Amino acid sequence: MEQKNTLRAEPNKDGHFGPYGGRYVAETLMPLILSVEDAWTDAKSDQSFWDEFEALAKDYIGRPSPLYYADATTKHFGGAKIYFKRDELNHTGAHKINHCIGQVLLAKRMGKTRIIAETGAGQHGVATATVCALFKIPCTIFMGATDIERQAPNVFRMKLLGAEVRQVTSGAGTLKDAMNEAMRDWVTNVHDTYYLIGTVAGPHPFPEMVRTFQSVIGKETKEQMMEKEGRLPDTLIASIGGGSNAMGLFHPFLDDDGVNLIGVEAGGHGVDTDKHAASLTGGTPGILHGMKSYFLQDSDGQIQEAHSMSAGLDYPGIGPEHAWLYDQKRVEYVSVTDDEALEAFKLCTKLEGIIPALEPAHAFAHVTKIAPTLPNDHILVMNLCGRGDKDIFTVAEKLGIKI
């Protein structure tokens, strides 16, 4: 008899995390989705696959990323002892490269000759274009027209790396529409194309696969914390759009009951307004992009536009494992507003000399709220999942500064 005493065994064989997840895709794609699953199952238990992944993680990405004791931040708040997991030091400047390396190896293994991906802020697009340049695989990146405009440097980076950037004008021209268009391309080019999904979302096996590649973050954190403090941390904090950096940090700790896990959603103008991207705290269960999860939608099941100053969090859904962990109450989900994230962005930069991306600035905003209330022996780890170079234009505009 199977006994469930772990939160780390999901999804089941059909890709369900409790009632969430699954494979809600057009029939044309089903045989391919099943073959991705077979290839992934095979790769997962193949040591040579992991040897190649780990070699690239070490020498190309630059792993392990440091676990940094943020002394100035700790002293500033006078409460919890604060550590940063420095995934912003990875090649390409964010955690996205972890699952891009993993997936490009899988695509190669499957004999796929073309890669497509969606991108919002451009980070996942840049990471995908990077690994495609490394492995000499042609790639097409779908990006909303609105995002192309507000993330021009990343568009240029992708092009330099040899990617074709295809502009998506349907809908509001943001991440959701880019994902729709990538799905349309995939169904049309099903025979030779691999869709390199950029977060723990989409149809099974993508949420589990991306989580597995990203859980290198949590595994390293566990080892590094044992080395530095001789015990597990008390609290882990990560920002959530689709949820890949948070899932990667949290998953190795899910069964460690003493570790509080906090996911920070993008509250935009506030979760009580109609301009936010908090799918869990402000959305309802639904089905889109191949998965059952939580979405921002109206009472008729029409998906609503998300809003966040951070293009990487500007998505009206969330990965299905987060939906399940939310229902299980294993992870606490909170939200912070654009304004709070902007203040946190400035504070982190000044205190630590680290310019964070706007995504982890959301996590840092929550740190600023709880750190002062916690005792000095409370150890808190925040995932600093991306660097802020890409965001300086957005921030300058918000601050009314012309650069």
Binding site for another protein (CB under 8 A): 14, 22-32, 170-171, 176, 180, 183-184, 187-191, 284-290, 292, 295, 297, 299-303
Closest CA to 312 of 11, 93, 15, 20: 93
Bridge partners, 193 (sequence order)? 114
The two three-digit tokens of residue 122, written as one number: 């451009």
Indicate the residue among 191 and 329 with the shorter CB distance to another protein: 191
Residue type, 395: V
CA distances from 295 to 164, 266, 283, 305 (A): 30, 13, 5, 10
Residue type, 312: G
Indicate the residue among 250 and 295 with the shorter CB distance to another protein: 295
Give the helix/strand (H/E) hosting 326. Answer: helix 320-328
Query: Which stretches within 174-215 are classed as H helix?
Result: 175-188, 206-214
Q: How far is the CB of 199 from another protein (least distance, A)?
A: 17
Closest CA to 242 of 121, 116, 63: 121
Beginning with the edge strand found earlier in the chain, give each strand of the sheet holding 67-69 in spatial order: 67-69, 81-85, 379-383, 235-240, 260-266, 331-336
CA distances from 365 to 55, 344, 356, 369 (A): 35, 5, 11, 7
Indicate the residue among 24 and 50 with the shorter CB distance to another protein: 24
Indicate the residue among 185 and 321 with the shorter CB distance to another protein: 185
Tokens 């008729």 appear where? 300
Indicate the residue among 233 and 242 with the shorter CB distance to another protein: 242
Q: Contact at 8 Å (CB) between 319 and 242?
A: yes
User: Around Cβ 219, how many Cβ atoms within 10 Å?
Assistant: 15
Closest CA to 368 of 78, 68, 71, 88: 78
Q: How far is the CB of 40 from another protein (least distance, A)?
A: 16
Indicate the residue among 21 and 388 with the shorter CB distance to another protein: 21
As a whole number of angstroms, the distance between CA 6 and CA 231 comes to 21
Tokens 């077979």 appear where? 38
Indicate the residue among 13 and 329 with the shorter CB distance to another protein: 13
Indicate the residue among 182 and 217 with the shorter CB distance to another protein: 182
Q: Contact at 8 Å (CB) between 230 and 236?
A: no
Indicate the residue among 26 and 399 with the shorter CB distance to another protein: 26
* Three-class SS state of 238: strand
Residue 205 burial class via C-beta count within 10 angstroms: exposed 0-12, middle 13-18, buried 19 and up: buried
